[in-house]
């Protein structure tokens, strides 16, 4: 059986590498926050950003039914709001919708699209600011957090009970995080600048070039054939077309899946490694800002949820 046969893999009841990874991430976060005063600031930024982005990758893995077959246990692993700003339940809902849509990249249907449906106004200016990879990493974190929160405030006016159900557990978790930061003497400002902002920026490297608008659905999802540190940080989600094909596969099996059929998906955008992505797009936009789909087609669909920045 080949890599396209959904029956060729039965996930184990417990994916031990992912559980071990969770222990490393949360243990590392506790250690770095507790001993932050002994770390030079470059090391604190590096470790804080890495652990925050890594936990985001772990959350993404949990959304797809890993590392066990018990939903509540998986969700408990992903719940801690290390990045503070995004409730896991909303990320889970929106990313599931991203995988379900047949209209990947369409801003009116894909909850993770970075394209605009039309030009003009403040949204156009903000998207232009983060059109390059440099802009995405520098301006993307505050832009995407602010846009998400604004969407949530608007949603609260329409469905306050649903919003409260999504946010109250998250805010309780944030309160525990803030208590811990106060206990270890790590200021909120330092945490934002050394953990949250650079952690989101690292995550945005992965999401920057993983999708591209195209009339051909087979050309919308990319492959970055990287097996270095960033692949570990992103839990091999850089092999993104394989992830979309087989989200049931644990992160540590995706490289073997790719190596078994390296020439599959000939229409997919391909990059040899993240160095290529940086060389091409650090100071140049990845694509046009306006989605090329005819607006007459797009308006027949309605974007039904808010958008996390980097799933």
Find the domain containing 85 and state its range.
14-298
41 within some domain: yes
Contact 133, 304 (CB under 8 A): no
* 7 in any annotated domain: no
Q: What share of the chain is helix, strand, coil (3-state, %, to 5)?
A: 60, 5, 35
**pTM confidence score:** 0.91
Q: What is the count of structural domains for the chain?
A: 1
d(CA 82, CA 84): 5
Phi/psi for 58 (5° steps) reads -65, -40
pLDDT in tens, the chain (311 residues): 344 554 456 668 899 999 999 999 999 999 999 999 999 999 999 999 999 999 999 999 999 999 999 999 999 999 999 999 999 999 999 999 999 999 999 998 999 999 998 898 999 999 999 999 999 999 999 999 999 999 999 999 999 999 999 999 999 999 999 999 999 999 999 999 999 999 999 999 999 999 999 999 999 999 999 999 999 999 999 999 999 999 999 999 999 999 999 999 999 999 999 999 999 999 999 999 999 874 435 444 444 444 454 54
Structure tokens at 122: 């403040």
> Is residue 2, in this structure, part of any structural domain at all?
no
Helix, strand or coil for residue 271?
A: strand
Cβ proximity of 222 and 271 under 8 Å: yes
Residue 120 maps to a domain: yes
Residue 310 lies in a domain: no
Contact 170, 88 (CB under 8 A): yes
Do residues 94 and 127 lie in contact, with contact meaning Cβ atoms separated by under 8 Å? Answer: no
Whether 305 is covered by a domain: the verdict is no
Q: Which of 223, 257, 228 is nearest to 238 (CA)?
A: 223
Which residue from 81, 72, 80, 60 is spatially nearest to 18, judged by alpha carbons?
Answer: 60
Are 254 and 242 a contacting pair, CB within 8 Å? yes
Distance CA 174, CA 120 (A): 36
Residue 308 belongs to a domain: no
DSSP per residue, 101-161: -SSTT-TTT-TT---BSS--HHHHHHHHHTSSHHHHHHHHHHHHHHHHHHHHHHHHHH-HH
Beta-ladder partners of 116? 290
Question: Is 3 a member of any domain?
Answer: no
């Amino acid at each position: 059986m080949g890599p396209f046969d959904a029956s060729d893999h039965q996930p184990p009841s417990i994916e031990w590498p992912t559980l071990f990874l969770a222990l490393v991430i949360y243990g590392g976060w506790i250690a770095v926050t507790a001993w932050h005063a002994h770390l030079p600031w470059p090391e604190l930024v590096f470790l804080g950003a890495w652990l925050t982005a890594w936990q985001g990758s772990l959350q993404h893995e949990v959304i797809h039914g890993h590392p066990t077959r018990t939903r509540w246990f998986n969700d408990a692993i992903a719940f801690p709001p290390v990045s503070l700003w995004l409730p896991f339940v909303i990320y889970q809902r929106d990313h599931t919708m991203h995988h379900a849509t047949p209209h990947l990249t369409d801003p009116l249907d894909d909850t993770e699209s970075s394209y605009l449906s039309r030009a003009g106004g403040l949204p156009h200016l903000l998207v232009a600011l983060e059109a390059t990879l440099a802009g995405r990493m520098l301006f993307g974190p505050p832009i995407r957090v602010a846009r998400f929160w604004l969407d949530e405030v608007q949603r609260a006016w329409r469905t306050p009970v649903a919003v409260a159900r999504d946010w109250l557990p998250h805010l309780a978790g944030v309160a525990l995080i803030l208590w811990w930061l106060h206990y270890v003497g790590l200021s909120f400002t330092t945490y934002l600048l050394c953990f949250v902002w650079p952690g989101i920026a690292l995550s945005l490297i992965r999401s920057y070039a993983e999708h591209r608008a195209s009339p051909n659905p087979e050309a919308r999802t990319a492959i970055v054939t990287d097996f270095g540190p960033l692949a570990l940080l992103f839990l091999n989600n850089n092999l993104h077309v394989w992830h979309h094909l087989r989200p049931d596969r644990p992160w540590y099996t995706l490289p073997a899946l790719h190596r078994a059929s390296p020439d599959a998906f000939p229409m997919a955008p391909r990059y040899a490694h993240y160095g290529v992505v940086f060389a091409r797009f650090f100071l140049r936009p990845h694509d046009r800002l306006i989605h090329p789909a005819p607006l007459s087609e797009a308006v027949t669909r309605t974007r039904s949820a808010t958008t996390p920045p980097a799933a």
